[in-house]
Amino acid sequence: MLARIKEFLGLGAKPKEVSEEPKEVVSKEEVEKVAEEKTKPRIGYIHLSGCTGDGMSLTENYDILADLLTDMVEIVYGQTLVDLWEMPEMDLALVEGSCCLQDEHSLHELMEVREKAGLVVAFGSCAATGCFTRYSRGGQQAQPNHESFVPIADLIKVDCAIPGCPPSPEIIAKTVVAVINGDMDYLQPMIDLAGYTEACGCDLQLKVVNQALCTGCGTCAMACQTRAVSMTNGRPEVNSARCIKCGICYVQCPRSWWPADRIKKDLGL
């Protein structure tokens, strides 16, 4: 399963060439494949300049959390979760928070995650878009020089992003299940969103209204997690003083990207 994801993302070993090897070798590979499929993905949780809200949101999957932790995944690393100082190898690393460029330790940790994890996920809007750390400008004790915070994709290759401040418990559960099942179709928007790092409420104006796409449906205003978006004469109006640049309004807009096939499948249509 993870091999499939790694292969898809161009990580890890190159796909084997079509083999002309004897059958028994193929079946041996199949056995290994099955064995690998049964391995629980090793998940790490890395906490940079975030508020732990994304991690909290994960734990709000009350109904499935016990099953998830006992049967489906193995949490191998993470402050607040695992008593371990050395970062181990991981299949999947959920990185919460943006990265402070003046903090050597954060930079080092982020580089280490990229080395040790098969898949790096920008977990939550701080990691994905910078979110409200975009407003940081230093000048506060005890580290007045800690002023520059960037989304992690500015520094390392990010494989997928789960924006949200925080991401909903449901999207976290859906993503983990999709990873376990190797459901690349479901994950595709998240892979695409890894490139969406410069988010702002004004994207509604620039990328939807200005592009003749807005229909005034109100989804953006519903999605905004800080109530910065209201609707005036059928168009979104962003209160920039409330906008935290999480990107959710644009991500949830039905005119930014449109997963028709998945929706029909989910509805049984």
Partner 1 sequence: MVLGTYKEVVTARSTDKQIQKVSQDGGIVSALFCYALEEKLIDGAVVAGPTDEFWKPAPMVAMSADEIIAAAGTKYTFSPNVLMLKQAVRQYGLEKVGTVAIPCQTMGIRKMQSYPFGVRFLADKIALLTGIFCMENFPFVSLETFISEKMGISMELVEKMDIGKGKFIVETQDDVLTIPLKETHGYEQAGCKVCLDYVAELADVSTGSVGSPDGWSTVFTRTEGGETIFKAAVEAGVIETKPVNEGKFGLEMLTKLATQKKEKAMKEIDKRKGMGLPVPFKASSEKEDPLANV
Residue 68 CA to residue 259 CA, distance in Å, equals: 26
Residues within window 247-266 making contact with partner 1, judged by CB under 8 A: 248, 251-264, 266
Least CB distance to partner 1 at residue 173 (A):
10
Tell me: does residue 215 bind partner 1 (CB under 8 A): yes
Does 205 participate in binding partner 1 (rule CB under 8 A)?
no
Q: Which positions ≥6 away from 51 have C-beta within 8 Å? A: 97, 126
Residue 53 within binding range of partner 1, rule CB under 8 A: no
Segment contacting partner 1 (CB under 8 A): 6-14, 69-77, 145-153, 223-231? Answer: 223-231
Output 52 or 225, the one with its CB closest to partner 1.
225
Q: Which residues of 9-45 are buried (b: 16+ CB within 10 A; e: fewer)?
A: bebeeeeeeeeeeeeeeeeeeeeeeeeeeeeebbbbb
List the one residue from 189, 191, 205, 237 that touches partner 1 (CB under 8 A): 189
Closest approach of Cβ 117 to partner 1, in Å? 22
- What is the SS3 string spanning 32-88? HHHHHHHCCCEEEEEECECCCHHHHHHHCCHHHHHHHHHHHCEEEECCCCCCCCCCC
Q: Which of 59, 143, 211, 240 binds partner 1 (CB under 8 A)?
A: 211
Site membership for partner 1, residue 213 (CB under 8 A): yes
C-beta separation of 233 from 249 below 8 A: no
Question: Count of CB atoms within 10 A of residue 227's CB?
Answer: 9
106-165 positions binding partner 1, by CB under 8 A: 125, 162-165
Residues in the site for partner 1, rule: CB under 8 A? 57, 60, 125, 162-171, 174, 189, 207, 211-223, 225, 231, 233-234, 246, 248, 251-264, 266-269
